[in-house]
Amino acid sequence: MESTVMEELLAAHPMEKLKEDLVVKGIVTGIHGNEVSVDIGGKAEGVVSALEFNDIESLEVGSEIDVYIERLEDKYGNPLISHDKALQKKNWALIVENCEEGSVLPGRVKGKVKGGLLVNIGVDAFLPASQVDTQSPINLDQYIGNTYEFKILKINQERKNIIISRRELIEEERQEKRRLLLNEIKVGDICEGIIKNTTDYGAFVDIDGLDGLLHITDMSWGRVSHPNDLVKPGQKINVMVIGIDQKKERFSLGLKQTMPNPWDNIEQRYPVGSKVHGKIVNMVPYGAFAEIENGVEGLIHLTEMSWTKRINKPNEVVRIGQEVDAIVIEISKDEQRIALSLKQVEENPWEMVCRNYPVGAHVRGKIRNMTAYGAFVELEEGIDGMIHVSDMSWTRNISNPNEFVKKGDEVDTIVLNIDQEQQRIALGIKQLTEDPWPEIQRKYKVGAVVTGTVTRIVPYGAFVKLEYYLEGLVHYLEGLVHISQISETHVDKVKSVLSVGQEVSARVIKIDPNDRRIGLSIKAANYDETAFTEEMKAFDKIKNTSELVSLSDMFSDIDESLSQREEE
C-alpha cells in the first residue's frame, strides 16, 4: 500500500536528471527524531538534519521540498543532500538581484564561528564579533537562536559570502534617539539612565544613547569618598539634567539635585546657640568636621575644643566616627558653613576663676611647666597660673625659674592679677613676705663698704651675696659688680679676675629701690671721698647708657647660664 502511494507521488512529480551541485525536488518519506528521510528518485534515499528546518513540526510525510545534491553517493551509497543549502542557493540569486550593500534584512543567528557569528538571512552571512553590538560582547552564546535586523556591509559574489552588521543599525537608531533627545530635553528634567562606568571623579550615565557625567560633587549633599560608594555599573538611576553641551552631545547630571537641599531652612533647624548631635567624619590641621545630618557638616575649630587645654591637633580630643554633642556658634547659609563648639556644651571654668581665686588670695599648687620667663602652677585641672621670674624673689636676680623652683614642686603663691578674657592668672611668691627693701636701704647706704661672696659670674659682671636682718632672721640679697667696677685696669673677662665662692670687699656705689638693685664697686673699696664721688659720676653715665645691664648682656647671661647647666 505504501509503495503504491509513493509511486503515485513520484508519477505526479517526475525527477530531473540527478547530478552534483544541483537543486532538485524531493519527497519527505519519513521523519525520525533528528533526521528527515527524502527520496530524490535515486538509488537510495538521502537524509537531512532536522536542524535545517525552521519549523520541523509543520513538516509531513509526502511534503515536497527542495534539496541540494552535494554528492550523489557517500561511502554507503546514499546521496549527500541538504535542504538548507538548497534554500541558500536559491536565495543567493534573489539577494544578489534585489539587495545591495547597505540593505537591511532580518536574520536568525545559527551559531558561533571563528571571529564572530553565522547568521541566516536567507543565505549564511558572517557577523564579526565587533559588529554584534556597540561594545564587543564577551559571551556570544547569548545571541544564538535569536532573530535581529542586520545591515549588509559587503557582498562578495565570487566567494559567495556576505558580511553583515547589527552594530551599525543600533548606532543609527541611537543617533536618531540622541538627536530627538537633544531637541526635547532641557535643564531641570529628571531622566532615567544606566551607569556605564565610574571613575575617581564621578560616573558616566547612559540616557537613551547620550552620555552624561555625574560628578562626585553632585552625587550627594553629604560627603562621598568614591563614586562606587553610591553607584555601580549597570545600575538604573534617576538623575537631573543640570547642563547640556549640544556640540559634544553630552549632559551634566546631578543626583543630589533630585533630593531636597538640606541647607534650605538651615537657620531655622539649627539656630545659633542650639545644641546638636553629630559624628566626626573628617579631620584637618585646624579642626574637625562633624556631620549633624546627611549633607550638613559643621567645623569644630581647635580653639572650640577645650576651655582650658591648648589643643594642637584635633585627634588629641576626637577621632573619626566618634559621636559628639556641640553648640552651634555661627551659620553661613550662602557658603554652606556651620561653626560648632565642643567646649561650650560645658560651663566655662574661667567664669568661676574670679570667685575662686580673687586677687590677694593665698593659693597652693604644683609646678606643671616652666619657660625662660617663669613657671606655670596648676591650681586645678585646666586652670594654671604663672609666676614670672620677677615675682619669685625680692632680693635675688633670677634669670631662669630653674634657679628658684623645680617642676613638680608644691608652692604657695599670692594671686596678683586675673585676665579672664585672655584666661591668665598672675601669681607671685615674693609677695608672701614683706618687701625687705626699706630695711635694706636703711642698712646699705651709698658709700658703705661691705663684704660678700661671689655667687654668679656673667659677661657684664659678677653678683655678690650680701646679708641683712629682717624680724630677727638673717636674709640674703645680691648686689651687682659691673665689669667696669672690678679693677683699675681693663677687664676683658670677669672669670679671669673673679671666681664663684670668692669673698670680696666692695663699696655700695648705687641703690635703685624701684628696680631693687644694688650696684657695688670693688675697685672703689679703698677710694677716698673725692675719688669715690668721681667714680659715682662715671658709674651714673654707664647706668644712664645701659641701665646697668644691656639687652645684649642679658642674652649673653642666659646663654652662659644654659651653657653652665649643660656642663653640669
Give which of 561, 516, 567, 568 is closest to 372, Cα–Cα: 561
What is the reported pLDDT for 136? 80
For residue 414, what pLDDT band results from cuts at 50, 70 and 90?
Answer: very high
What is the reported pLDDT for 288? 93
Q: Which of 242, 258, 274 is the last residue of a domain?
A: 258
Dihedral-angle region of residue 327 (phi above 0 means left; psi in -120 to 50 means alpha; beta otherwise):
beta
What is the reported pLDDT for 439? 76
Let me know whether 122 and 78 are in one domain.
Answer: no
333 pLDDT more than 70: yes
Of 159 and 340, more confident: 340
Mean pLDDT of 266-270: 88
What is the reported pLDDT for 542? 62
Let me know whether 472 and 554 are in one domain.
Answer: yes
Q: Does residue 175 lie in a domain region?
A: no
Let me know whether 442 and 553 are in one domain.
Answer: yes
* Residue whose cell numbers read 553590538: 133
- Structural domain containing residue 53: 2-86
269 pLDDT more than 80: yes
Let me know whether 458 and 493 are in one domain.
Answer: yes
Helix, strand counts (H, E) of the chain = 8, 30
- Is the alpha carbon torsion for 50, 53, 54, 59 positive or negative? negative
For residue 557, what pLDDT band results from cuts at 50, 70 and 90?
Answer: very low
Let me know whether 415 and 448 are in one domain.
Answer: no
d(CA 465, CA 526): 20
* Contacts of 164 by beta carbon, 8 Å cutoff, 6+ apart: 105, 107, 119, 121, 125, 126, 127, 131, 150, 151, 152, 153
Q: Which of 432, 458, 488 is the last residue of a domain?
A: 432
Of 293 and 556, more confident: 293
13 pLDDT more than 60: no
For residue 471, what pLDDT band results from cuts at 50, 70 and 90?
Answer: low
564 pLDDT more than 50: no
6 pLDDT more than 80: no
d(CA 394, CA 434): 9
Where do the H-state alpha helices sit in 229-350? 266-269
Over the stretch 210-264, which tens digit does the pLDDT of each residue have? 788 899 888 887 778 888 888 899 889 999 888 888 777 778 898 888 888 888 8
CATH number at residue 51: 2.40.50.140
Over the stretch 237-252, which tens digit does the pLDDT of each residue have? 999 888 888 777 778 8
Give which of 234, 243, 237, 249 is closest to 197, Cα–Cα: 234
Let me know whether 242 and 208 are in one domain.
Answer: yes
Let me know whether 21 and 143 are in one domain.
Answer: no
What is the reported pLDDT for 481? 92
The three cell numbers locating residue 418: 586675673
Q: Does residue 177 lie in a domain region?
A: no
15 pLDDT more than 50: no
Over the stretch 108-130, which tens digit does the pLDDT of each residue have? 998 999 999 998 887 888 999 99
Q: Does residue 180 lie in a domain region?
A: no
Q: Does residue 91 lie in a domain region?
A: no
- Residue 432: strand, helix, or coil: helix
On whether the CB atoms of residues 388 and 373 are closer than 8 A, the answer is yes
Number of domains in the chain: 6
- Average pLDDT of every residue of the chain: 83
What is the reported pLDDT for 122? 79
Let me know whether 231 and 252 are in one domain.
Answer: yes
- Is the alpha carbon torsion for 186, 187, 190, 195 positive or negative? positive
Does the model's pTM come out above 0.75? no
Let me know whether 475 and 560 are in one domain.
Answer: yes
Most confident of the following: 282-286, 475-479, 515-519, 558-562: 282-286
d(CA 47, CA 488): 141
The strand ranges marked E within 342-388 are: 362-371, 374-380, 383-388
Q: Report percent pLDDT > 90 for the chain.
A: 23
For residue 559, what pLDDT band results from cuts at 50, 70 and 90?
Answer: very low
Let me know whether 558 and 481 are in one domain.
Answer: yes
What is the reported pLDDT for 547? 41
Residue 124 phi, psi (nearest 5) = -75, 130
Over the stretch 485-524, which tens digit does the pLDDT of each residue have? 998 888 899 999 899 999 999 999 888 877 778 889 998 8
84 pLDDT more than 90: no
Of 127 and 546, more confident: 127
d(CA 254, CA 237): 11
150 pLDDT more than 70: yes
Of 325 and 516, more confident: 325
Q: Which of 325, 345, 365 is the last residue of a domain?
A: 345
